[in-house]
Structure 1
Amino acid sequence: MEPNENLTFSEPSRSGLCVVCKGSKLLCGKTRCPILVKVNYFLKSVPLLQTEDIDGSSPPSVFIGRIGYPNVYAGPLVPPIREDTALYDLPERWFGKSIDDIVAFRSMLVRGKHRVHVQNFQEAGKIIEKTRELALATNSVDVELILKKKPRGHLLLDDEVQPFGPSAPIRELYVGNARWDHHIEKAYTDTDLKATPAVHELYTKGVLVTKIQRAFSVGAFGIEKNRKFVPTRWSITAVDSILSKDLMEKVKTYPEINEYKVYESRYLGNLFEVIMIPSMWSYEAIEAWYPGTVWNPSGRNVVMFGDSEGYEGRTTYAEIGGCYYAARLAVCELLMKERRQATVIVLREAHPGYIMPVGVWQVRENVRNAMRQKPYLFNTLDEVLKFIGSKFQIPLQKWIMRSELLKNALFQKKITDFFAKPPLNA
C-alpha cells in the first residue's frame, strides 16, 4: 500500500501522554504528576476505607451533587478519624498550605450519598434531615456513617469545589450533638426572611463565607415554601455573587481612588496582579493558563480568557465561572474597607506548578491575600503597565489585547491627552 501523503497527525491526547509518560517524564509539562499525587494519598487512605462503617468527626462538611438535577445525591463528608477536623472544610485557613497538604486531609473525607429531590427535601427522611443538621454545625461533629457498600476509591477534583475522597450510598446516618452557629440558626428559623438578605446579614455579622455557602446548599435560608437544596458548586458561586454584588453597589457610592495601585499574590503556581485605576467602578478578570496546567494540560500555547462588567454590572453568567465572582468579592471587600471605588482588573497567570484544581476558594483567598499586602503605587497608567510587564512572562501586549478595560483606559487616556494639548498658535 502506498503511503497517503494527505494524512494529518495530531499530538497525543492527554490520556495518551499519560500512557507514554507513566509519571516519569512529565510530558504534560507539569512540574509533578497529578495522577501520582492522587494515587499516593489514596493509597494512604485505603487501609481506613475497607469497611462500610465510617466512624469519625465531620468538620462539618456536606456535599450536594448536580448530576441528575433536580434529583441529586446529597450527604455528609466524614473522615474515618476522631479528632478536631474543622480545618478540613475551612478554606479561609488554607492559604499557604501546599497542594500535598490540602489533598492529604481532603482525600480522607468519605462522601455518603442519598438521593433527594431539591424541592422535596423535607419529605426525604432522617438521612437528609441529619445532613442538614450537620451542615449548620459550627464545629466538628461525631458521625457514624453506615454505607451500603465499601466506598468507591477516587479523589474528586473540580475547579469550583474543594477535593474530597471516595463515596458510597448511605444505609444509615447517626449524627452526634451538633452546636449551631447562633447567627445561622436565627436565619434558619426565620422562614419569612428571603435568602439574599439572610446571606447579607450573616456576612455582616462575621460568619465565614464557607459556612454561609454550606448552609445555603442545604436550603437553610429563604421563605419557607421556596427553600431548596442547591448543588455545592452552585451555592459557592451564588454566595460569592450575592455578597460581591451587594458590596459593589455600596462601593459605587464612595469617591474614586486618587492614584494607580497594583496588588500582588503568589500561591500554588498562580500569580495574581490586581490593578486599580482611578475611575468609576468597573471590573474585569482575565486568566492565562500555561501548557501543562490544569485546564491546558497538553496544549502548546498559553490560553487566555476573561470577562468584564461596566458600572451597571452584568446580567449573564461569567464565562470563566466561579473564579470571576470569588475575585470580585475579594476586591470589593478592600474597597468597602477603604470607602473608595475604582476600576479593577484582576490578572492571573497559572503556571505548570498548578498541577490540579483545588476549588474556587484558591482564587478568593489568593486575591484576599493580595488585598492584605501593601500596594505598589503609580502616578500613570503607563507606569502600571511597565510594572505589570516586568512581572508576567506573557508579553504585556497580549494582556492589553485581551483586556476590554485596559483598552478602554488607554483609549480614554489618549482622548484626554488630545484635548489637553494647547493650540498651535499659543
Structure 2
Amino acid sequence: MKFVKKFKKKVPWLSGFQDIKKLLELTPTKKKFSRRNICLLCRGTKLLCGKSRCPILVKYYSFSAIKPLIRRKEIDGSSPPAIFVGRYGYPYVNVSPLVPPIIGDTSLLDTPELWKDLDVSEIIKFRFSLVRGNFKSHVRDATKSHRIINLVQELAMAKNSVESYMVLKKEPRGVIIDSDLQPMGPSAPLENIDINSLKTNHLIEKLYEDDDLKALEAVKILYKRGLLISSIIRAFSVGLFGMKNERRFVPTRWSITAVDSMLSNWLINEFIKGNPIISEYRVFETTFFGDKFVVILIPDAWSYEFIEAWYPGTTWNPSKEYIAIGGDWEYYQGRTTYASIGGCYYAARLAVTEYLAKQRIQARVLILREAYPDHLMPLGVWHVREGVRKALKEKALKFDTLQQVINYMRESLRLSLDTWLSVSRTLLDLTKQRKLTDFFS
C-alpha cells in the first residue's frame, strides 16, 4: 500500500513563537484527490468519506443546538474557568475569557481529562457553547495593571466555576476545529467583563505572588501536587508564573506544548535515566475516539519515537488511496529542535514518561497511532495524551524477543508491517544495526 512521509523544515524549539506555523502537512505528493464534489453528492447520507458519521452534520447540529443562546452581545453564565490566548498577530494577541450561557458547575467544559467516556458530538456541543470575548493585548502586558487583564488572570487562578457577565461589541461568530486545541466556540471583541467573587487555588496564587521563581519550577510544583495538566496550561498561558520581568502571555497552542515538553524532559532527566532497564518487551494497546494507540516498551536505554498513520478519509488525509504517515524521534541525549509533527509528539511523551517514572523503570519507547475514518474531527492534543495514558492502564502483553513483538504488530495493526519497518527509526535500529555490546556478548 502506498504511503507518504512529508515533513516541513524543523523549527528550533520555542525560538520565535510567532514564526511557528503548521509543521506537518499530511497530504499526498504523487496524486492529489479532490473532495470538492463528495460532500455535494453525499449530503451526509451516503458517508462517501468513509466515516461512520458526517463531521459536517455533527458540527452543524452541535452548533445549532446552542446558537439561540449565544447569538447575543451579552453572555451571562459560569466560566469553567476557561481562558484562550491566540497566536495570530503575535506579539499582539487576543486574551479571551470563555463563558457559556449556563449558570452552575461548568468545569467539565474545559477539563479534557474528564472527556474520555464522552461521545465526540457531546464534546463538540458543549465546547461550542463557550463564547470567547477577545481582548487584544501585547504579550508583555501580563504584568500590567489593567482591569480586564487582572480579571482574566483571576479566572485562571479560580478553583471552581465563576459566575461571569460578558458584554461583547457584536454578536459572536465562527468556531475553531484544530489539531492542537480542543474545539472552540464563537467569538467577538470584548467590551467588558464582570465576575462574582471566586475561590482561588491557593497554591497557584502563592506561585503567582512569587516573582523570583522560574516558570519551570512553578509548573513542576503544581504537577507534583497533582494539579491537572489542563489547569497548569491555563495558568501558564496567562503569564502567572516566572520571574517578574519575564512573565508573558503565551498562546494557548504553545502553552500546551511547552508544559508537555517541560514536564516530560524533567521526568526523563531526573527520574527515568536513573532507573533500571526493563528485562522484557511490553506492549500496551487501546482504541480512543476512533484511533488505535500501541505503546511498545523495549529493554534498552531511554529513547523515544512517535509515529502516526492517517488512513484515507481522515482529517489530515482526504485522499481515497494513500495512507499518510508522519513521525519523529529522539535518542538518549534528547532533542534540540521542535518535533516535526508538532504538539502530539510531546503530549504522548509526557504520558509515557509519567508511566516509566511511576513504575521506576527505564525503556526505549515506540508509540504507534493509527487514525481510522471513524476519527471524525480534530479534538486537540489532549486526545493523544489521554489516549496514551489510557493504553498504559491496560494490562501489558509481555514478550521475550523483538520477533515476537513484530509478529504481534503484524496481527494487531492494520498498516502493513513492511511499512512500519520502513518508517520507524527505532525498528530500523533494532533490526538492521548491531549494538557495540553485541561484539562483546
Tell me the distance in 2 between the aligned counterparts of 1:241 and 1:88. 24
Match of 2:62 among 41, 51, 55: 41
Question: Could you tell me how far 1:410 is from its partner in structure 2?
Answer: 1.5
Instruction: State how many pairs are aligned.
Output: 411
Q: Secondary structure at the match of 2:370?
A: strand
Counterpart of 1:236 in structure 2 is 256
Question: Could you tell me how far 1:124 is from its partner in structure 2?
Answer: 7.0
Counterpart of 1:135 in structure 2 is 156
Moved more, 96-105 or 340-349: 96-105
Tell me the distance in 2 between the aligned counterparts of 1:333 and 1:414. 28
- Larger of the two Rg values belongs to structure: 1
Instruction: Please say if residues 66 and 125 of structure 2, whose CA atoms lie closer than 8 Å, have aligned partners that are also in contact.
Output: no
Tell me the distance in 2 between the aligned counterparts of 1:285 and 1:194. 30
Residue 405 of structure 2 corresponds to residue 384 of structure 1: yes
Instruction: Please say if residues 274 and 344 of structure 1, whose CA atoms lie closer than 8 Å, have aligned partners that are also in contact.
Output: yes
Question: Could you tell me how far 1:340 is from its partner in structure 2?
Answer: 0.8
TM-score, length basis structure 1: 0.93
Percent of aligned pairs sharing the same letter:
51
Counterpart of 1:114 in structure 2 is 135
Match of 1:366 among 378, 381, 387: 387
Tell me the distance in 2 between the aligned counterparts of 1:401 and 1:320. 18
Tell me the distance in 1 between the aligned counterparts of 2:367 and 2:380. 18
Tell me the distance in 1 between the aligned counterparts of 2:332 and 2:438. 23
Instruction: Please say if residues 28 and 298 of structure 1, whose CA atoms lie closer than 8 Å, have aligned partners that are also in contact.
Output: no
Match of 2:125 among 97, 104, 111: 104
Residue 74 of structure 2 corresponds to residue 53 of structure 1: yes
Moved more, 99-108 or 357-366: 99-108
Match of 1:20 among 41, 59, 67: 41
Equivalent AA in structure 2 for residue 243 of structure 1: L
Counterpart of 2:222 in structure 1 is 202
Instruction: Please say if residues 29 and 297 of structure 1, whose CA atoms lie closer than 8 Å, have aligned partners that are also in contact.
Output: no
TM-score, length basis structure 2: 0.90
Match of 1:339 among 339, 356, 360: 360
Alpha-carbon distance change, 418 to 26 in structure 1, aligned in 2, over 3 angstroms: farther
Tell me the distance in 1 between the aligned counterparts of 2:286 and 2:201. 32
Q: Flag the structure with more relative contact order, 1 or 2, with Cα contacts below 8 A and sequence separation at least 6.
A: 2
Question: Could you tell me how far 1:289 is from its partner in structure 2?
Answer: 0.1
Counterpart of 1:289 in structure 2 is 310
Residue 396 of structure 2 corresponds to residue 375 of structure 1: yes
Alpha-carbon distance change, 180 to 277 in structure 1, aligned in 2, over 3 angstroms: same
Computed over aligned residues only, the root mean square deviation of the Cα atoms, in angstroms, reads 1.7
Tell me the distance in 2 between the aligned counterparts of 1:414 and 1:122. 52
Once the two structures are superposed, what CA deviation does each residue of 1:401-420 show, in whole Å capped at 9, x if it has no partner?
Answer: 11001111123469877876
Counterpart of 2:286 in structure 1 is 265
Once the two structures are superposed, what CA deviation does each residue of 1:331-384 show, in whole Å capped at 9, x if it has no partner?
Answer: 111110111110000000000000100110010011011111110000001001
Question: Could you tell me how far 1:392 is from its partner in structure 2?
Answer: 0.7
Instruction: Please say if residues 143 and 247 of structure 2, whose CA atoms lie closer than 8 Å, have aligned partners that are also in contact.
Output: no
Equivalent AA in structure 1 for residue 131 of structure 2: V
Alpha-carbon distance change, 114 to 146 in structure 1, aligned in 2, over 3 angstroms: same
Tell me the distance in 2 between the aligned counterparts of 1:138 and 1:18. 44
Instruction: Please say if residues 175 and 187 of structure 2, whose CA atoms lie closer than 8 Å, have aligned partners that are also in contact.
Output: no
Tell me the distance in 2 between the aligned counterparts of 1:181 and 1:14. 48
Counterpart of 1:188 in structure 2 is 208
Equivalent AA in structure 1 for residue 258 of structure 2: A
Q: Secondary structure at the match of 1:119?
A: helix
Question: Could you tell me how far 1:296 is from its partner in structure 2?
Answer: 0.6
Counterpart of 2:98 in structure 1 is 77
Q: Secondary structure at the match of 2:306?
A: strand
In the TM superposition, structure 1's runs of 4+ consecutive aligned residues that sit over 6 Å from their partners are 414-420
Written as runs of structure 1 = structure 2, the 5 A alignment for 1:243-322 is: 243-249=263-269, 250-322=271-343
Equivalent AA in structure 2 for residue 312 of structure 1: Q
Once the two structures are superposed, what CA deviation does each residue of 1:231-258 show, in whole Å capped at 9, x if it has no partner?
Answer: 0010001000000000011200111001
Question: Could you tell me how far 1:92 is from its partner in structure 2?
Answer: 1.0
